[in-house]
Amino acid sequence: MAFDLYQQVTDSIIASVEAGTPAWRQPWAGEGGAAQMPLRANGEAYRGINVLMLWLAAAAQGYGSAHWFTYKQAEAAGGQVRKGEKSASVVKYGTIERESEETGEEKRVPYLKSYRVFNADQIDGLPERFHAPAPEPVRDPGAEAEADARLEAFFAATGLDIRTSPESQAYYDPQGDFIHMPPIARFEDTAKFYGVLAHECCHATGHASRLDRFSRFNDRKAYAFEELIAEIGNCMLCSQLGLTPDFGQSAAYVEGWLRALKSDKRMIFKAATEAQKAADYLLAAAGPGQVASQGEAA
């Protein structure tokens, strides 16, 4: 049987969901409350499905560094992968020129291939900056939730219509195109309020005036798919803001996610791509200077 990379990745994600800790929740599964986006050797952040795959690998092995290298990149940086260390997989999308058997015309055909990387914790001799410890927990919120000026500025800068009333439910209204949040004092702590708000903001990016996701994904599986996008996007966004995502509502969607993932081996790739777009949209809308740097506690 031919090797199926889509199926292999999907199976690993399904296994993490069935175990009770989906790949995108792994950075927050330990004692701390902060997380790091996985970084390439040159410091650029990985994107899409690779973020989930590397979060999963880091959690499984207990790696503390955010940095990942190919074998050659480790050597170029002055390091040496320790003997016996096992690599993690990441994937690369691309296209190749191929002649159509029917028309003889050249056409571009998409492909997906994997390559192997090692965490900085598996490599001796690297500069110390690659071994920076994971960030400390986000903040000590104290007994009462109160507004955070930096986070208030970030969410205001997104341009989304965020409303507050005594109503107890947090939600995004796609017809009215607004987000409703209960008063911050109703939340256990400051971080919880902004984690919930970040989740609803990810939903709001699907509106026709933004990423127009709702019209592109509107079949019978779209509801579970949208919640999957919002949760993964929220994790990507919160890792940039130094927040712990809100997972409070997601238990209700787990069965739907599993059905959808098992019926479509490409769904998690699509969801991760759309989640990345949602996080990117919010970060770009808020503008530079609004995000804590990697490893900086909020």
- 109 and 153 assigned to the same domain: no
Q: Could you tell me if residue 291 is inside a domain?
A: no
- 168 and 249 assigned to the same domain: yes
Which of the residues in the chain have pLDDT under 70?
1-3, 30-34, 133-144, 220, 289-298
Instruction: Provide the residue range defining the domain that includes 110.
Output: 36-131
- 42 and 87 assigned to the same domain: yes
Number of domains in the chain: 2
- 101 and 230 assigned to the same domain: no
Of 104, 131, 158, the one marking the end of a domain is 131
Q: What is the pLDDT of residue 18?
A: 93
Q: Could you tell me if residue 17 is inside a domain?
A: no
- 156 and 244 assigned to the same domain: yes
- 182 and 265 assigned to the same domain: yes
Q: How far apart are CA 182 and CA 193, in angstroms?
A: 9
- 237 and 160 assigned to the same domain: yes
Burial track 22-45 (b if 16+ CB lie within 10 A, e otherwise): bbbbbbbeeeebbbbbbbbbeeeb
Q: Could you tell me if residue 138 is inside a domain?
A: no
Q: Could you tell me if residue 8 is inside a domain?
A: no
- 154 and 279 assigned to the same domain: yes
Q: Could you tell me if residue 278 is inside a domain?
A: yes
Q: What is the pLDDT of residue 294?
A: 45
- 98 and 162 assigned to the same domain: no
Q: How far apart are CA 22 and CA 245, in angstroms?
A: 13
Q: Could you tell me if residue 164 is inside a domain?
A: yes
- 176 and 86 assigned to the same domain: no
In angstroms, the Cα distances linking 89 to 26, 58, 181, 185, 213 are: 17, 11, 39, 43, 29
Query: Is 119 in a helix, a strand, or coil?
Result: strand
- 97 and 178 assigned to the same domain: no
Q: Which of 235, 226, 233, 291 is nearest to 256 (CA)?
A: 226
Q: How far apart are CA 34 and CA 277, in angstroms?
A: 22
Q: Could you tell me if residue 21 is inside a domain?
A: no
In the structure encoding, which two tokens stand for residue 264, read together? 């479509």
Q: What is the pLDDT of residue 134?
A: 57
- 117 and 167 assigned to the same domain: no
Q: How far apart are CA 232 and CA 52, in angstroms?
A: 9
Q: Could you tell me if residue 259 is inside a domain?
A: yes
Question: Are residues 163 and 178 in contact, defined by beta-carbon separation less than 8 angstroms?
Answer: yes
Q: What is the pLDDT of residue 71?
A: 97
